[in-house]
Structure 1
Amino acid sequence: MMNRASYRIGPLLLAALLSGCEQPSLPQDHPSPQPFTPVQVRTEVDVAPAPGFADQTGGGIFATADGNVIRLRLDGTRAALESHPGNTVAPGRARAVFRVGAGSALVEADNGLFLAQSGWLIAPPWREVLGTGLVATAATPDGAVWLGHASGLYRLQDGALSALKVNGQALEGITALASAPAEDGAQGLWFLRQETLSVAVRTAPGTWQVRQVSSLPLQEGERVVGLAGLGASEKARGEAWVLTSSRLLRLAEDGWRQVALARKPEQVLAAGRFVWVNMDGKLLSHDAEAGTWGEASGVDTREFRFLAADESGCAWVQLGAETLALSKGPVPRVLGLLEGTQVVEDALVVRARLVPGVAPLSFTYEVAGVEVPVRGPTYSLGGTEADGTPKAYSFVGLEPGPHTLSAVARYADGTEARRSVSFDYQPLSSVALGWDKDIRPIHVARCAKCHDTGPARPLSTYTQWKDNAELIIAAVKDQRMPADGPLDPQLISLIQRWAATGANP
C-alpha cells in the first residue's frame, strides 16, 4: 500500500450564490456561427453510451456496448488493448473511460479501476483504495489528476492517491470537474457538488483552499448543471465555462460573461482551446484561439450524446446507434509535442499524422513567426535522414516562455486545416545533473517496482538508463509511463535535462 499524503485544507468560505435578476452590467458575447460540414469518421464497433477518452494524437479509448474496452485509431479502426500479464485480476466488464494524462486513461470496470496505456490495461497499486463510482476526472497544470468519485474528491500525483477534505469531511456528491483559473487567476479545480459550485485553489505546496463561488451571476431559480475548462495558451489564460439550466457563462480575464446563444444550450464539452455546445438541435464548435464559432451542418442531434473531446478540436459523439468522430476539417495531429508541454530540450522530433483521405497540396509548420514547409509521408518538422528517419528541429534562438506551434495542411480546393499546440519553452539550466544524485531517486520511487524485478524492461543501473534515455523520455513525456500514473512535470523536465546535458553518472 502507498503512503497517503496529507493536505492542509483551508476553511470552506461560506458565501451564498447570487440570486435575483441578472445584473445589467454582465457583458455578453454574441456568437455568429459560420456553417461547416464536419469531417466524420465512423467507428467499426458499437460503443457504449458512456464517457470515453479522446487522444489528441488521434483515436481514443472507449467502452463497447458488450462491455469490452477498446482503443480506436484516427480512422475509427480497432487497435490493440489487453490486460497486462502482470495484473493479479482481470478487469471484467468495462463501464466507462476517463482521461488521466495526455495519452492515458482510467477505465472503470466491474473489478475496479485500471490504467490504459500503450496498449495495456494496467492495475495500479492504488486501485484498492477506490472501487467503482468514478464520475469525472480533470488534470491541473501542476501534473495532478483529480478524481471525482462517489466517496469523495481525490488527487493522484506521482503515483500517490490522497483525499481532499473540508474540516475532515469527504466531498461526496460531486457531479462535474474542470481545470481552470479561479476568479483571482490562481490555479484552480472547479467542481459541482449538490448543485453548489466551488473551486479548490492551491495556496502553497500541499495546501488547498476550497471556496464556494459567490460571484456567479445566477438568476432566480437558475442552477448550475455542467462545467468545462479551457486550457491556457500563448494568447490567453485558461477559462471556466459554466452551463446553467438556461444559458452558458464563461469566466474571462475581465470577469463573468454570458454567451448569448440563439437557443437554450443543453450540453457543453471542452478540451484544449476548443468548446463544443449542443444547443437544442444545433451543434456548435468554438475555437477560442481564433475567436470563431462554427455550426455543424448535416448532423442530426435528436439522439445525441457527447463521449469525449481532444485538444485538436475533435469531438467523439453518438448519433443514435452510430459513434463518430467529428472535426471541423481534416485537422492534422501533432506527434512529439503535446498541448501544454514544457520543452527544455534545444531540439525536438515533431511529426504530423493526417486524417485518412486526400493528401494536402502543401504542408507547413509555423513557430515564432517562422514557416517551415515539409513533405510527406513523415511530415517531420526537422526534415528526414536519407533513410526517412525524422530529424530533430532546433529551438535554439527561440525566446523562453509560451509559444504556439501550428501544423497547417492546405488542399487543392483552397481549404486549410490547422492544428495549433501551445507549449512553454524553458531552455536547459547550466546546473550539472547526475544519474545517482538526481535520476536514481525518481527510478526508486516510481520505476523500480516494474523495471527492477517486474515484467518490464530492466532499468536498474546507470548504464541501462543512459542506453535507453530516448525511450524513457518519450514514455514519460507521452504519459505512457510510469504505469501507476504520470510523473510530475518537474520530474519529466529533470530527466530531459539530464539526458540533454550528457547523461552524466
Structure 2
Amino acid sequence: MRVCALVLAGLLSACDSTSLPSDHPSPEPFQPVQTKTDEALAAASGFADQTGGGIFATATGEALRLRLDGTRGALENHPGNAVAPGRIRSVFRMGASSALVEADNGLFLAQSGWLIAPPWSELLGTGLKATATTTDGAVWLGHDTGLYRLQDGAVSALKVDGKPLDGITSLAAAAAENGGEGLWFLRQQALWTAVRTAPGTWQVKQAEAPLLDEERPLVVVGLGASEKGKAEAWVLTSERLLRRAADGWRQIALAQTPTQVLAAGRFVWVRAGDKLLSYDADADKWGEASGVDTREFRFLAADESGCAWVQLGAETVALSRGPVPRVLGMLEGMQVVDDAMVVRARVAPGVAPLSLTFEVAGVQVPVRGPVYSLGGAEADGTPKPYSFVGLEPGPHTLSAVALYADGTEARRSVVFNYQPLSTVALGWDKDIRPIHEARCAKCHVKGPGRPLATYEQWKEGASLIVAAVREQRMPADGPLDPQLISLIQRWAATGANP
C-alpha cells in the first residue's frame, strides 16, 4: 500500500488576548456509580466502548477487553496475523466500537474479540500519540512521524510544503474557527487546525487561541455535536481551561487549576486540584463527584454515555453520574436508513430499575425486562424491531430512561440521523461488489475472515454484515465511508438483490 501526500495550504496566525468571556460553573455534587475491575491495568491510554466496557493495556503488557461489569472478555491474537503483537503499549479509539492497539510489533485492531493486523500497519509502526474520527468516516492518526488520514482502507500523509506534520501530541475533531468541520491538534507546543477546503486539499494553520504570555496548550479534546449544540474544541493549558464555543473563545473559571481533561460525546471530565468535575453539554450542567480520592489519579478513557475509566492509586474504576443504561443497536451519530430495526437497552450492573422507558420524537415507549427492547419481544423473548415509519427525516435523539426505587432517574441519549430508504433499486453486482472487492475481499476471500466471495454468501450473511459495518467493527483495516455504509444498509433492507 502506498502512502500518498495530500495537497495542503499552510497559513500561520496567532492571537493573544487577556480578556475573554467566562463561564462560571456551579457544580452540583453527585455520588458517582463506581464499577471496579480486579484487573491490573497499565497507566496508558485506553478505549471505552459506548455500549459498555472497553479495551486496555494491562500492567504486564497484555491487551485486555473489559465488560460493562468490569470482568474480562475474550480478546486473542488472530491466527491469520503474520506476527504476534508482543507487549502492548497503549490503546486508542479507532471507531465507534473498535480500538487501535499499539504493541511492540506494530499496530493492531481490536474487533469482535480479535487482535487483527491491518494491511497498512507496516507503514506506521510504533509511535502513535493520538487518534480522532471525523464525520466523513476518516480516522486521523497523530504519529511521531507525522499526521495521517485513514479512509477507505488507504493511509495518506498530510504535509505542508512537502514537510510532515510531526511532533503531534494531542488530536481532536471539532468545528473549526470558521464554523466548518475541522481537526485540532497540538504540535510543537502550539495549537493548530486543519480544515478541508476541497477534495484532497486541507488548509493548515495555527489557531488564533487567546493565550496569555508564557501560557502553553497541553491537551485538546473534542465535544461532539447533537441537536442541542455544535461540536467544540476544549483546550487545557498550563493555566486554565478554554473552549471554542459557537460564539468564539471562552474560558472556564474553575475554583482550582485544572490539570487533566477527557471528553467523549457530549460529556467532558476535568480534574481540577483535588476535585473531579463532569460537564453534560446537552443539559449545560456541571457536577462534582463526591467520595473520589484524586491524590493518585489518572484518566484512561471515556465514552459517549458519560462514563470515564480512571486509575485511583492501584485501582481501576469506571465512574458514571448514575446507573446509566447503555443503548445497543444504535450508536452515537449513526445514520439510520431502515424503517424498522432492533434497539435494546442494557441496564447498569446491580439493582434492576423499577421501569425503563424509551423516548424518541416525543413518543414514550415503556418496556419490560429482562430484555429491554424498544420494539418489545416475541413470545420466546426474541427482541422485535421498532418501526420508524412516520418519523421525519433528519437528526433525532433516542433516550433510554431508567427509574429506580430511590427516585434516581438515569438517562442515556443517542443522537442519530434518520434518512429513510429511497426508491432506487440497488444490486449486489453493480453497487455492492465494488465495495467488496476494494475493502472486504483481502480478508474474506483468501484471508482470515469468514468466506464472503459470492452474492449468495453476502445475501445469506446480510444481517451480520450490516451490523458489522454499521457498528464500525468491519472492515478490519478501518471503518467504511458513511455513504458506503448507507449503501450496504439500503441494499440489504430492499431485498438484497443480485
Fold conserved between structures, TM > 0.5: yes
In the alignment, structure 1 residue 306 sits paired with structure 2 residue 313: no
Which residue pairs with 1:267 in the alignment? 260
Task: Compute the displacement of 1:5 (Å).
Answer: 4.1
1:81 aligns with 2:63: no
Q: Within 5 Å, give how 1:81-230 maps onto structure 2.
A: 81-214=75-208, 216-230=209-223
Out of 18, 21, 24, the residue aligned to residue 22 of structure 1 is: 18
Q: Please give the secondary structure, in 2, of the residue aligned with 1:330.
A: coil
Return the alpha-carbon distance in structure 1 between the equivalents of residues 206 and 337 of structure 2. 37
How many percent of aligned residue pairs carry the same amino acid? 76
User: 2:468, 2:249 → 1: CA distance?
Assistant: 39
Q: Which residue of 2 aligns with 1:477?
A: 470
Question: How many Å apart are 1:454 and its aligned residue?
Answer: 2.1
**CA-to-partner distance for each residue in 1:29-86, whole Å, 9 max, x for gaps?**
1111010111111112100000000000000000000111110000000000000000
Query: Structure 1 residue 455: deviation in Å?
Result: 2.6
Residue by residue, what CA displacement relative to the aligned partner does 1:417-443 show, whole Å, maximum 9, x if unpaired?
000001111111222111100000000
Distance 1:123 1:279 in 2: 39
2:5 and 2:159 in contact (8 A); partners too? no
Correspondences of 1:53-64 after superposition (within 5 Å)? 53-64=47-58
Structure 1 counterpart SS, 2:122: helix
CA separation in 2, counterparts of 1:503 and 1:295? 51
Deviations 1:380-411 (A, max 9, x none): 00111111111111111111111110000000
CA contact (8 A) 2:65 2:74 kept: yes
Residue correspondence of structure 1 range 218-367 to structure 2 within 5 A: 218-367=211-360
Equivalent-residue separation in structure 2 for 1:331 and 1:295 (angstroms): 17
- Contact preservation (8 Å) 1:44, 1:78: no
Q: Tell me the CA shift for residue 211 of structure 1.
A: 1.6
CA contact (8 A) 2:278 2:286 kept: yes
Do the aligned residues in 2 keep the contact of 1:344 with 1:425 (CA within 8 Å)?
yes
How many residue pairs end up in the alignment?
498
Report the counterpart of residue 34 of structure 1 in structure 2: 28
**1:117-145 Cα deviation digits (max 9, x unpaired):** 00000011111101111101111111011
Task: Tell me how far 1:206 sits from its aligned partner.
Answer: 1.7
Deviation of 1:182 (Å): 0.1
Structure 2's unaligned 5+ residue stretches are: none
Query: Quick one: distance in 2 between partners of 1:168 and 1:3?
Result: 16
Q: Measure, in 1, the Cα distance between the counterparts of 2:240 and 2:229.
A: 24
Q: Is 1:448 aligned to residue 448 of structure 2?
A: no
Partner of 2:3: 4
* Residue number in structure 1 paired with 2:428: 435
1:49 & 1:194 partners in 2: Cα distance?
24
Read off the aligned partner of 1:4 and give its amino acid letter: V
Give the conservation status (yes or no) of the 8 Å contact 2:443–2:449.
Answer: yes
TM-superposed CA distance for 1:456, in Å, is 2.0
Report Cα offsets for 1:220-269 as digits up to 9, x if no partner: 22111111101110111111101111111111111111111111111110
Contact kept in structure 2, 1:48 and 1:64, CA below 8 Å: yes
Supply the AA of the counterpart residue of 2:148. Y
Q: Is the contact between residue 173 and residue 182 of structure 2 (CA under 8 Å) also seen in structure 1?
A: yes
Letter in 2 for 1:266: T
The Cα of 1:98 is off from its aligned counterpart by 0.4
Q: C-alpha displacement at 1:18, in angstroms?
A: 2.2
Q: Is 2:7 the counterpart of 1:13?
A: no
How far is 1:338 from its partner? 0.3
SS at match of 1:494: helix
Q: Which amino acid aligns with 1:109?
A: A
Q: Deviations over 1:206-226 (max 9, x none)?
A: 221112112x21122211111
CA distance in 1, matches of 2:180, 2:448: 42
Instruction: Give the aligned residue type for 1:54.
Output: A
Q: Deviations over 1:165-201 (max 9, x none)?
A: 1111001110100010101111101000011111110
Amino acid at match of 1:264: T
Query: Would the aligned equivalents of 2:84 and 2:105 in 1 still touch at CA under 8 Å?
Result: yes
What is the rounded CA distance, in whole Å, between the counterparts of 1:290 and 1:317 in structure 2? Answer: 23
Which residue in the other structure is 2:66 paired with?
Answer: 72
CA offset digits 1:302-349 (Å, max 9, x no partner) = 110000000000000001111110001110010000001111111111
Q: Distance in 2 between matches of 1:311 and 1:263?
A: 26
Q: Distance in 1 between matches of 2:283 and 2:18?
A: 29
Q: Deviations over 1:454-498 (max 9, x none)?
A: 232211111111111100000111111111111111100000011
CA distance in 2, matches of 1:341, 1:222: 38
CA contact (8 A) 1:41 1:76 kept: yes
The equivalent of 1:495 in structure 2 is 488
Q: Distance in 1 between matches of 2:4 and 2:363?
A: 45
Structure 1: which 5+ runs fail to align?
Answer: none
Question: Does the 8 Å contact 1:362/1:375 carry over to 2?
Answer: yes
In the alignment, is the contact (CA less than 8 A) between 1:4 and 1:162 conserved in 2?
Answer: yes
User: Hey, what's the Cα distance between the residues in 2 that align with 1:22 and 1:103?
Assistant: 41
Letter in 2 for 1:334: V
Q: Using the alignment, how far apart are the partners of 2:200 and 2:339 within structure 1?
A: 32
CA contact (8 A) 1:247 1:265 kept: yes
Task: Measure, in 1, the Cα distance between the counterparts of 2:129 and 2:449.
Answer: 31
Q: Could you say what the CA RMSD is over the residues aligned between the two structures, in angstroms?
A: 0.9
Q: CA deviation at 1:452?
A: 1.3
Selected match of 1:376 from 345, 358, 369: 369
